[in-house]
Amino acid sequence: MRGPAFPLPPNAVIGIVGGGQLGRMTALAAARLGYRCHILTPERESPAGQVAAYVTEGEYEDPGAIAAFAAGVDVVTFEFENVSAGGLELLAALKPVRPAPAVLRVSQDRIREKSFLNGAGVPTAPWRRVETRAELAAAVAAIGLPAVLKTTRLGYDGKGQSLLVRPEDLETAFVALAPKPLVLEGFVDFACELSVVAARGEDGRAVAFDAVENRHRQHILDLTLAPAQVGEEIAAEARGIALRVAEALELVGLIAVEMFVDRGGRVLANEIAPRPHNSGHWTIDACPASQFELFVRAVAGLPLPEARRHSDAVMKNLVGPEEAALWGEILAAPGLIPHLYGKAEARPGRKMGHVTRLFPHGGLPGPFGIEAALGPLAARAEVERAGRHLAEQVVQPDLGEAFGPS
Ligand SMILES: Nc1ncnc2c1ncn2[C@@H]1O[C@H](COP(=O)(O)OP(=O)(O)O)[C@@H](O)[C@H]1O
Ligand SMILES: [Mg+2]
Length of the chain: 406
State residue 3's pLDDT score. 52
Asked if pLDDT for residue 402 goes beyond 50, the answer is no
Backbone angles phi, psi at 211, to 5 degrees: -65, 140
Query: With contact defined as beta carbons under 8 Å apart, do 267 and 241 qualify?
Result: yes
State residue 390's pLDDT score. 44
Ligand nearest to the CA of 159: 1
Query: With contact defined as beta carbons under 8 Å apart, do 90 and 69 qualify?
Result: no
Ligand nearest to the CA of 213: 1
Which atom of ligand 1 is nearest to 110's Cα?
17
Asked if pLDDT for residue 202 goes beyond 60, the answer is yes
State residue 156's pLDDT score. 74
Give the residue whose CA is nearest to atom 14 of ligand 1.
158
How much is the average pLDDT of 281-307?
98
Cα-to-centroid distance, 13 and ligand 2 (Å):
30
Neighbouring C-beta atoms of residue 371, cutoff 10 Å: 17
Neighbouring C-beta atoms of residue 263, cutoff 10 Å: 9
> pLDDT class for 395, splitting at 50, 70, 90?
very low
Give the residue whose CA is nearest to atom 16 of ligand 1.
158
State residue 397's pLDDT score. 43
Asked if pLDDT for residue 351 goes beyond 90, the answer is yes
Cα-to-centroid distance, 195 and ligand 2 (Å):
10
Cα-to-centroid distance, 403 and ligand 2 (Å):
13
Cα-to-centroid distance, 327 and ligand 1 (Å):
29
Least confident window among 321-325, 327-331, 336-340, 395-399: 395-399
Give the residue whose CA is nearest to atom 26 of ligand 1.
219
Give the residue whose CA is nearest to atom 7 of ligand 1.
187
Mutating to test ligand 1, I would choose from 114, 153, 161 the residue with most ligand atoms within 8 A of its C-beta, which is: 161
Mutating to test ligand 1, I would choose from 219, 222, 272 the residue with most ligand atoms within 8 A of its C-beta, which is: 219
Taking Cα atoms as reference points, which of 157, 153, 147 lies closest to residue 177?
A: 153
Neighbouring C-beta atoms of residue 198, cutoff 10 Å: 27
State residue 141's pLDDT score. 96
Cβ-in-10-Å burial (0-12, 13-18, 19+) of 362 comes to exposed
Which atom of ligand 1 is nearest to 185's Cα?
1
State residue 398's pLDDT score. 43
Between helix 85-94 and helix 63-71 the angle, nearest 10°, is 30
Mutating to test ligand 1, I would choose from 148, 154, 278, 390 the residue with most ligand atoms within 8 A of its C-beta, which is: 148
Asked if pLDDT for residue 295 goes beyond 50, the answer is yes
State residue 5's pLDDT score. 86
Cα-to-centroid distance, 6 and ligand 2 (Å):
32
Encode pLDDT of 110-146 as tens digits.
999 999 999 999 999 999 999 999 999 999 999 999 9
User: Which domains, ranges and CATH numbers included, belong to the chain?
Assistant: 13-97 (3.40.50.20), 126-187 (3.30.1490.20), 190-388 (3.30.470.20)
User: Taking all residues of the chain, what is their mean pLDDT, rounded to a whole number?
Assistant: 92
> pLDDT class for 389, splitting at 50, 70, 90?
very low
How much is the average pLDDT of 355-363?
98
Cα-to-centroid distance, 217 and ligand 2 (Å):
12
Report the 3 state secondary structure along 146-162. Answer: CEEEEECCCCCCCCCEE
State residue 316's pLDDT score. 98
State residue 212's pLDDT score. 98
Which atom of ligand 1 is nearest to 190's Cα?
4
Quote the radius of gyration of the chain (alpha carbons, Å): 20
Asked if pLDDT for residue 396 goes beyond 80, the answer is no
Which atom of ligand 1 is nearest to 187's Cα?
3
Q: Provide the 3-class DSSP secondary structure of residue 220.
A: strand
Q: Provide the 3-class DSSP secondary structure of residue 306.
A: coil
Query: With contact defined as beta carbons under 8 Å apart, do 301 and 202 qualify?
Result: yes
Least confident window among 18-32, 156-170, 182-196, 366-380: 156-170
State residue 105's pLDDT score. 92
In Å, how far are 74, 114, 159, 389 from 165, measured between CA atoms? 50, 23, 18, 12
Which atom of ligand 1 is nearest to 125's Cα?
1
Q: Which residues contact ligand 1 via a Cβ below 6 A?
A: 125, 148, 155-158, 185, 187-188, 193, 216, 219, 258, 270-271
Asked if pLDDT for residue 400 goes beyond 80, the answer is no
345 vs 70: CA distance, rounded Å: 30
In Å, how far are 91, 202, 332 from 240, measured between CA atoms? 32, 19, 40
Residues near 387 by Cβ (< 8 Å), separated by ≥ 6?
none
Cα-to-centroid distance, 14 and ligand 1 (Å):
32
Neighbouring C-beta atoms of residue 186, cutoff 10 Å: 19
Specify the pairing of strand 336-340 against strand 267-273. Answer: unpaired
Encode pLDDT of 47-104 as tens digits.
999 999 999 999 999 999 999 999 999 999 999 988 888 888 899 999 999 999 999 9
Phi-psi region of 31 (alpha: psi -120 to 50; beta: other; left: phi over 0): alpha
State residue 337's pLDDT score. 98
Asked if pLDDT for residue 181 goes beyond 80, the answer is yes
